[in-house]
Amino acid sequence: MTTLSGLVIRQQEPRNLEFPFERLDSYLTPVESFYIRSHFHAPGLQSDSYRLSVGGAVKNPLVLTYDELKSLPAKTVVATLECAGNSRVFLVPQKPGAQWELGAVGTAEWTGVPLAMLLDRAGLTDKACDVVLEGADRGQPAEPPKPPDPISYSRSVPLDKALEDVLIAYGMNGVDLPHDHGFPVRAIVPGHYGMASVKWLTQVLVLEEQFQGYWQTSDYAYWDEVDGIPVRRPLSEIKLKSEIARPATLEVVPKGQLYRVYGAAWGGTADIVSVELTTDGGLTWAATDFLDPIRPHAWRRWSYDWKTPDQPGRYTLMSRAKNAAGASQPDKFDERYFSYVVHHTLPIEVIVQ
């Protein structure tokens, strides 16, 4: 079992633990400090009795053991996972749900089998369009409308995404998936909020219609519009965001000296090309330097050498990412997301003295 290190408890059981983002100092987040977000008690799956079934709208349903999965050609990808509720604590007024600060996000190297390979072996029917990923954990969701009986954690990905780059993963940063991160097998949906990357994955179910499960429509969904009529849609791609790791909120920073501001940026559907920083509450912005190359679906850390003011006082820092498509991080929260997708520029107040 992995020893967890330095995580902040947001909920003891089911386990919901946050990475203290001010400790960010590596590109890959070590497994022992990767945030954990679980809705139900973690199931105790064993690798020797593990089975993954692939069924529904397929011609040859499959059942694979753990060893069979591991014997298939493997792929390793780096992907940043961010919980859709990350940074909720910044919302005013406060919204229900775990009060995540900046650390329900992490980057890891995931190893496994492309879902496309399994779907190819199973043979899709002509009308297949959605792929449900079901976990072995079950329970009663916390938020209404509550279904009458316990449900599993299950989420779908559109077929084109499933065929593009979804990974059926058994490795994380070169070791077996830790228990809390979905041992023995989980899905990784690169570029989508963490809720899509189903842990303790035991079933892949192909549908010929759009899945309408609880975690798709009730939770992890937002209000969109069709011709002025509000409609519920599932959350999907991670939005463009940057965060400041150091200084931390209300950190005391020495006046009149160089201080290395440090953070990371990720998300969006185009390459991140710049991160700017303001140290005067948004009056002026300066370019920061990237520490990591562009890699699809992975964060880029950045830093900036700030000559701190000679004048003691409270100063507000904010970072703002921009991407190659010309998009910029917004300066306000979008209320259509209610308590999710907090990706606007986040104010970090520090004390210079």
Structure tokens at 211: 């899945």
Query: Which one of 22-30, 33-41, 56-64, 121-129 is the stretch in contact with ligand MTE (CB under 6 A)?
Result: 33-41
From CA 79, how far away is CA 266, in angstroms rounded? Answer: 10
Q: Which of 79, 195, 238, 321 binds ligand MTE (CB under 6 A)?
A: 195
Cβ 185 to ligand MTE shortest distance, Å: 11
Q: Which is nearer to ligand MTE, 247 or 267 (CB)?
A: 267
Q: Which of 183, 200, 259, 262 binds ligand MTE (CB under 6 A)?
A: 200
From CA 191, how far away is CA 297, in angstroms rounded? Answer: 5
Cβ 57 to ligand MTE shortest distance, Å: 22
Which of 109, 76, 210 shows the shortest CA–CA distance to 155? 210
Q: Which is nearer to ligand MTE, 54 or 195 (CB)?
A: 195
Cβ 84 to ligand MTE shortest distance, Å: 7
Considering the rule CB under 6 A, would residue 83 count as an interface residue with ligand MTE? yes
Query: Which one of 94-102, 194-202, 292-300, 342-350 is the stretch in contact with ligand MTE (CB under 6 A)?
Result: 194-202
Query: Which one of 35-43, 111-119, 306-314, 322-330 is the stretch in contact with ligand MTE (CB under 6 A)?
Result: 35-43
Query: Which one of 32-40, 57-65, 267-275, 317-325 is the stretch in contact with ligand MTE (CB under 6 A)?
Result: 32-40
Considering the rule CB under 6 A, would residue 191 count as an interface residue with ligand MTE? no
Q: Which is nearer to ligand MTE, 203 or 278 (CB)?
A: 203
Residues in the chain: 353
From CA 184, how far away is CA 68, in angstroms rounded? Answer: 13
Number of residues this chain uses to bind ligand MTE (CB under 6 A): 18
**289 Cβ contact list (under 8 Å, min separation 6):** 302, 303, 304
Q: Which of 18, 22, 101, 137 binds ligand MTE (CB under 6 A)?
A: 137
Q: Which is nearer to ligand MTE, 85 or 247 (CB)?
A: 85
Which of 113, 86, 33 shows the shortest CA–CA distance to 195? 86
Structure tokens at 278: 């303001």
CA distances (Å), origin 163, targets 93, 184, 272, 298, 335: 40, 22, 25, 19, 32
In the block, tokens 């950190």 appear at: 251
Amino acid at 199: K
Q: Which is nearer to ligand MTE, 36 or 321 (CB)?
A: 36
Q: Which of 7, 24, 33, 35 binds ligand MTE (CB under 6 A)?
A: 35
Considering the rule CB under 6 A, would residue 24 count as an interface residue with ligand MTE? no
Q: Which residues does residue 264 pair with via DSSP β-bridges, in sequence order?
A: 243, 301
How many CB atoms within 10 Å of residue 32? 13
From CA 246, how far away is CA 307, in angstroms rounded? Answer: 14
Considering the rule CB under 6 A, would residue 39 count as an interface residue with ligand MTE? yes
Considering the rule CB under 6 A, would residue 198 count as an interface residue with ligand MTE? yes
Considering the rule CB under 6 A, would residue 239 count as an interface residue with ligand MTE? no
Label each residue of 222-242 as H, E or C. Answer: EEEEECCEEEEEECCECCCEE
Q: Which is nearer to ligand MTE, 178 or 268 (CB)?
A: 178
Report the DSSP pairing between strands 348-352 and 252-253. Answer: parallel
Q: Which is nearer to ligand MTE, 135 or 263 (CB)?
A: 135
Site for ligand MTE in 267-296 (CB under 6 A): none
Structure tokens at 146: 């509550």
Q: Which residues does residue 118 pair with via DSSP β-bridges, in sequence order?
A: none
Cis amide linkage into residue 247, ω under 30° from 0? yes
Give the interface with ligand MTE as residue ranges (CB under 6 A): 34-39, 81, 83, 135, 137, 153, 181, 194-195, 197-200
